Amino acid sequence: MSDTTSNITIERKQSHVEICLQDNIAFNRKTTGLERFEFEHNALPEVYLSDIDLSTTFLGKKIGAPLMISSMTGGYSKAATLNQHLAMAAEQFNIPLGVGSMRQALENSSYRESFAVTRKFAPSIQIFANIGAPEIAKGLNKSDITIMLELLEADGLIVHLNAAQELFQPEGNTDFRHVLEHLATLTDTITVPVIVKEVGCGISATVALQLLEAGVSVIDVAGAGGISWQKVEEVRYTRQFGQENRFSPSALEELLNWGIPTAQCLLDIRELKKERPEFRDVEIISSGGIQCGTDIAKSLALGAQLAASARHILKALHEKSLEKTIHTWLNDLKAIMFLTGASTIEDLKNKRLIIKQ
Ligand SMILES: Cc1cc2nc3c(=O)[nH]c(=O)nc-3n(C[C@H](O)[C@H](O)[C@H](O)COP(=O)(O)O)c2cc1C
């Protein structure tokens, strides 16, 4: 790996954080779809608010609440501080945490500490390693996998599928051939569960089925309605090359808003699980635009085991209100559980959602 390539990766990871905090990079023509639903009110909840239990399980382990901090960063010096704070919050609430793409850790050992720091500050929670589809397409070797897992004492490996992001990225890698084949090999050889996620364009039922048949343990839908990674990369592209009109204006608008809304992914995958009983117990993560406890609650009633969030968690960390934000989201969740008569997360999953008129 040349110094130039390594520097581009560092620049990219730094500017992702900066752009996500500053620029307007949300979908402007699409929402998560979660706002289309509301819970049926229960006038007889038969629940004491103080008794409501938010704990649940993920991949067989008890966790404090059905929330995960999504994969974000690592691989440059400032990322160590971000990851430390994310890890401390995750440990405090006993919720799972994903780190950002570990490609940099594989390319340059001096950046490994920015990932390893998470385990030092979060000794007891589930922490997940992360790598992108382009690396999977090339075929990860055994030593790459060992480095990623050992650095974090990881509980699993997350693979992100990000075709639209790579398409817009100035230095994007658009060779997505053989990803599925290599994923199947990976799930056969690795000793921990493999989670596959998108980064904001969503996972359809068709793709979910291909992934499950390839041995993937968990699917994180990372649907449309939160960040548009096409927009993030368009900001980087324009900074480097100016307005180049790569796409015609109306196509550009459609591509920047490309993706399956989070709620639609959940509905479609729930149907798939009904049709294919052998996948009935597969855990689904709802993410893409999650920004409060009602989003978490609706996600669970639409079939998710957990909800996960990246950008709003990053913003809260930046504003020094991360713990308070998570606390507020969990309080939202408790309020919904009280008003639907759910004293446990399992109860909440069976509560009725109504499509708003
Ligand atoms: C600053 C930042 C960096 C990210 N880097 C990664 C990454 O390295 N690997 C990955 O799988 N997802 C990455 N993501 C995507 C998120 O994990 C998530 O899937 C996506 O942003 C949608 O969720 P959100 O709407 O809650 O932000 C990143 C997100 C943010 C905000």
CA of 250 to the centre of ligand 1 (A): 26
**pLDDT per residue over 85-95, tens digit each?**
999 999 999 99
In a domain, 354, yes or no: no
Residues having CB closer than 6 A to ligand 1 are 16-17, 20, 70-73, 100-101, 130, 158, 160, 197, 199-200, 222, 226-227, 287-290, 309-311, 314
Ligand 1: nearest atom to the Cα of 160? 11
In a domain, 332, yes or no: no
- Is this model's pTM higher than 0.85 or not? yes
Which range of residues forms the domain containing residue 264?
3-28+67-291
CA of 193 to the centre of ligand 1 (A): 20
User: What is the CATH number for 218?
Assistant: 3.20.20.70
In a domain, 90, yes or no: yes
pLDDT at 245: 79
Q: How many domains does the chain have?
A: 1
Task: State percent of the chain over pLDDT 90.
Answer: 90
In a domain, 14, yes or no: yes
**pLDDT per residue over 156-188, tens digit each?**
999 999 999 999 999 899 999 999 999 999 999
**pLDDT per residue over 39-79, tens digit each?**
999 999 999 999 999 999 999 999 999 999 999 999 988 99
In a domain, 154, yes or no: yes
Give the pLDDT band of residue 5 (cuts 50, 70, 90): low
Indicate the burial class of 223 (C-beta count within 10 angstroms; 0-12, 13-18, 19 or more): buried
In a domain, 259, yes or no: yes
Among the residue ranges 2-6, 157-161, 191-195, the one predicted with the least confidence is: 2-6
In a domain, 300, yes or no: no
In a domain, 49, yes or no: no
CA of 310 to the centre of ligand 1 (A): 5
Ligand 1: nearest atom to the Cα of 290? 26
CA of 197 to the centre of ligand 1 (A): 10
Q: Mutate which of 30, 70, 233 to test ligand 1's pocket (most atoms within 8 Å of Cβ)?
A: 70
Inform me whether the pLDDT recorded for 1 exceeds 50.
no
